[in-house]
């Protein structure tokens, strides 16, 4: 997975840092307004849960590759099921944190 992130951050034209987006109540509206041509290439859905956000993003950013991250096994299995018919949605079963390691996530 380290290779994935090294590759990702080398391709800066795909990275849009949150500080550059306007702020309001509806973040999706802000992103669409900021990217008026709806041409985002990459979306990271961290804590993807069942994939509801990824499926919503797909309506607006049809060409985007969406990477969903969900650490809880049963939730991850549902995420895979819910997104399996969308070739540009990729699922990953792990969490992000401030240091590398393994913890038990209460469920």
Q: For 67-98, write each residue's pLDDT tens digit.
A: 999 999 999 999 999 999 999 999 999 998 88
Q: Report pTM.
A: 0.71
Would you tell me how many other CB atoms lie within 10 Å of the CB of residue 90?
15
Beta strands per DSSP E along the chain: 42-46, 65-69, 89-92
Would you tell me how many other CB atoms lie within 10 Å of the CB of residue 43?
21
What is the rounded distance in angstroms from the CA atom of residue 55 to the CA atom of residue 73? 20
The dihedral region occupied by 51, where left means phi > 0, alpha psi between -120 and 50, and beta the remainder, is left
């Amino acid at each position: 997975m380290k290779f994935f992130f090294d590759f990702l951050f080398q391709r800066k034209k795909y990275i849009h840092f949150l500080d550059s987006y306007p702020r309001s109540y509806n973040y999706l509206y802000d992103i669409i307004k900021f990217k008026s041509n709806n041409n985002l290439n990459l979306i990271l859905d961290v804590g993807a849960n069942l994939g509801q956000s990824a499926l919503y993003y797909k309506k607006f950013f049809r060409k985007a590759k969406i990477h969903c991250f969900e650490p809880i096994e049963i939730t991850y299995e549902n995420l895979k099921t819910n997104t399996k018919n969308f070739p540009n949605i990729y699922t990953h079963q792990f969490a992000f944190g401030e240091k590398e390691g393994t913890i038990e996530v209460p469920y």
